[in-house]
Amino acid sequence: MRNYEKYERAYFMPPVVTYDWVKKDHIEKAPIWCSVDLRDGNQALIEPMSIDEKLEFFQLLVEVGFKEIEVGFPAASDTEYHFIRALIEKKMIPDDVTIQVLTQAREHIIKKTFEAVKGAPHAVIHLYNSTSAAQREQVFRKSKEEVKKIAVKGAKLLKRLADETRGNFSFEYSPESFPGTEVDYALEVCNAVLDIWQPTKDNKVIINIPTTVENAMPHVFASQVEYISQNLQNRDSVVLSIHPHNDRGCGVCDAELGILAGADRIEGTLFGNGERTGNVDIITVAMNMYSHGVDPMLDFSNMPEISKKYERLTRMRVYERQPYAGELVFTAFSGSHQDAIAKGMKWREEREAAKWTVPYLPIDPKDVGRDYESDIIRINSQSGKGGVSYILKHNFKLSLPEKMKEEVGYFIKGVSDQEHKELSPALIYQIFEDQYVNNSPAFQIREAHFRQIDGIMAEIVIDHAGTPKIATANGNGRLDAVNNAIKEYFGVNYEVAIYEEHALEKGSSSKAAAYVGISSDDKLYWGVGFDADIIKASIAALTVAVNQLPEVKGLSEDKDKRMSEILNYVQANYRTITLDDLANKFYLSKPYLSKLIKEKSGRTFGDNVKKIRMSKACMLLKNGNMTVERIAEAVGYQNVEHFNRLFKESYGMPPVQFRKQKEVETGSAN
């Protein structure tokens, strides 16, 4: 990078610089938008679109709301020509949409252009010729006056052919390669063209200022546009348009400052597609206005679908960080960002706020067709407790106690760090469930019965060390009585420090969640339970919490410790576990391991894995809105058809029917 001395500033400042545009701090209304995707964008594709693809893209642009669409350069190729004829002859142009075609200021090209647009309900004929000092000197080897005559001659021919050709036509002129043109000379050429066309307020023409190769800072371009705007002849009969390119990465800024400087119209493309670094990205300019409370007059409310169609038709890719449209633009991985977003969303919900002020989110993702559940907060090793809690709250309706959030957040973040991957909401829930809902290795409470004797007498059946045992105790309430029975049975001492509960669904028979935190030696141990009966949910939560006490865990060692370790490892790794993995982990041969698992558990290795996976799948079908395809992948099946077959074998019905049946049962219960 030592050759910088061979470059110099190649732009020209206007003779008079006013900087009136600097006094404005925002755009007050949407400009006239003209999409050039089908011409400028299409010519920049490695594989230009076919006629059918261009027709589909044209329809997309109409649906978004463009009223002016540049459809091609008809003299450039037969595909361009026949596409334009198809639009006109098949009457595919809506009454409120104007097509635009591009032509050089050369006689045979202009004539071919008028042949292509014959019979158009309304078409803009866009005439251009290069005016820059470099083009005049190096390409044309003509003087300023000679180059101006090219523009004037072309303008005269347009006017004559428009009178001779059936159709409704308007005119546009561009001093192409404007950034390298002396601004006063570009103005002189534009005014010479206006002298030929003689526009009126009722029959306006377009003067278009293109940053053909962006070579100046945006404020320079704004000053150039302002000079043109203030000095054009018949300014009130002219639509001043700009066509920013993005060579310096400032296309959006050029467009926004150009509007402040007096431009009435913008030509650009969806996602900024175009030659070299592309055109201005109309989506970004429009959505920037939207974020300031200005109606852009374009509809991007289904941005994911627009992105998919754009990628399919152009074979280009929408970058993950593309403003407003990229897959990750609303996503926070950082713990501090996640915490601020979660609190902002809660604040907004509590106050039913009308204005959008959520930290780190310039617009509401739902306004462009994104959803909170999968787009805003995603979990990896950089995430924090706020993000994990948000995922569990918004995806699975779980409102964790404040003191539980930190432990759960760090635990799940640790899994992401250890496995070096992002965790999906389904996987986060499964990790949470494995650790806090189903984690009862030492004992479980099979039954609980209550009588009114000296308060509440609880009789519980504890499944411990492979056999059921009965324990009884009194308490102030049912959970307190069960708690005392557990303490007496195991001879342990702890206190129930935190208890919280909430409904997971609406209705008197809805399922509830219970959270129990027990304190022992200044440490909290947590458990969570779910059930339509809040007492059953509370007992389940208490059971999981007590199972985490070191002294209770030690009591389970009279079981076959080796087998317990094997089955626990299968439980923890059921998504990807294979018999080879298990044999290597425990240094056993596969035949011996298979036999051991069958003898001790009563099931084969494969049946154990299938049972765990099917159980997880049932939970996801009942408690979430994930698609069957995503559930299959989440529980370890890449092939959804295979998953469907196994599920039907296990439950006598396919997953979709199972979900519907559970929804009906829940509705009946409510």
pLDDT at 384: 58
Confidence of residue 91 (pLDDT cuts 50, 70, 90): very high
- Percent of the chain surpassing pLDDT 90: 67
CA distance 639 to 654: 14
Residue 121 has pLDDT above 60, yes or no: yes
Residue 432 contacts residue 456 (beta carbons within 8 Å)? no
- Please return the burial class of 212, using the count of CB atoms within 10 Å of its CB with bins 0-12, 13-18 and 19+: buried
As a whole number, mean pLDDT of residues 298-321 equals 96
- Kindly state the percentage of the chain with pLDDT values over 70: 95
What pLDDT is stored for residue 558 in this prediction? 44
Q: Looking at residue 498, what is its pLDDT?
A: 95
What is the DSSP pairing of strand 265-268 with strand 32-35? parallel
Is residue 557's pLDDT more than 50? Answer: no
Task: Give me the pLDDT at residue 619, please.
Answer: 80
Quick check: 358 and 344 in contact, CB under 8 A?
yes
Q: What is the pLDDT of residues 395-406, one digit of tens each?
A: 888 999 999 998
Structure tokens at 97: 């949409």
Dist. CA 290–CA 280, nearest whole Å: 17
Q: What is the token pair recorded at 231? A: 């000095």
pLDDT of residue 453: 79
Burial class (CB in 10 A: 0-12, 13-18, 19+), 352: exposed
| 532 φ, ψ (degrees, to nearest 5) | -70, -25
In contact, 306 and 60? CB cutoff 8 Å: yes
Average pLDDT of the chain is 90
C-alpha dihedral, 128 to 63 to 375 to 321, nearest 10°: -10
Sign of CA dihedral 324, 328, 330, 336: negative
Exposure letters 517-542 (e unless 16+ CB within 10 A, then b): bbebeeebbbbbbbbbebbbbbbbbb
The larger pLDDT score, comparing residue 558 to residue 98, is at: 98
Least confident of 363-372, 452-461, 557-566: 557-566
Q: How confident is the model at residue 667 (pLDDT cuts 50, 70, 90)?
A: low
pLDDT in tens, 580-638: 988 888 877 788 788 888 877 778 999 989 988 998 888 888 777 789 999 999 999 99
pLDDT digits (tens, 9 = 90+) for 32-62: 999 999 999 999 999 999 999 999 999 999 9
Range with the poorest average pLDDT among 435-444, 481-490, 552-561, 655-664: 552-561
- Express each pLDDT in 512-536 by its tens digit: 999 999 999 889 999 999 999 999 9
pLDDT, position 85: 96
**pLDDT number for residue 507:** 59
pLDDT at 306: 97
Which strands form 467-475's sheet, in the order they lie side by side?
A: 443-451, 456-464, 467-475
Alpha-carbon distances of 425 from 514, 630, 649, rounded to whole Å: 21, 11, 27
- Structure confidence at residue 103 (pLDDT): 96
* Distance between CA atoms of residues 76 and 103, nearest Å: 9
**Single pTM value for the model:** 0.71
pLDDT of residue 185: 98
pLDDT at 301 exceeding the cut of 60: yes
- Collapsing DSSP to helix, strand or coil, 180 comes out as helix
Q: Is the pLDDT of residue 670 over 50?
A: no
pLDDT exceeds 60 at position 385: no
pLDDT at site 226: 98
Separation in Å, CA 15 to CA 144, 194, 445: 17, 21, 88
- The sheet with strand 512-520 has its strands ordered as 495-503, 512-520, 523-531
Q: How confident is the model at residue 666 (pLDDT cuts 50, 70, 90)?
A: low
Beta carbons of 515 and 530 less than 8 angstroms apart: no
Residue 169: pLDDT band with limits 50, 70, 90: very high
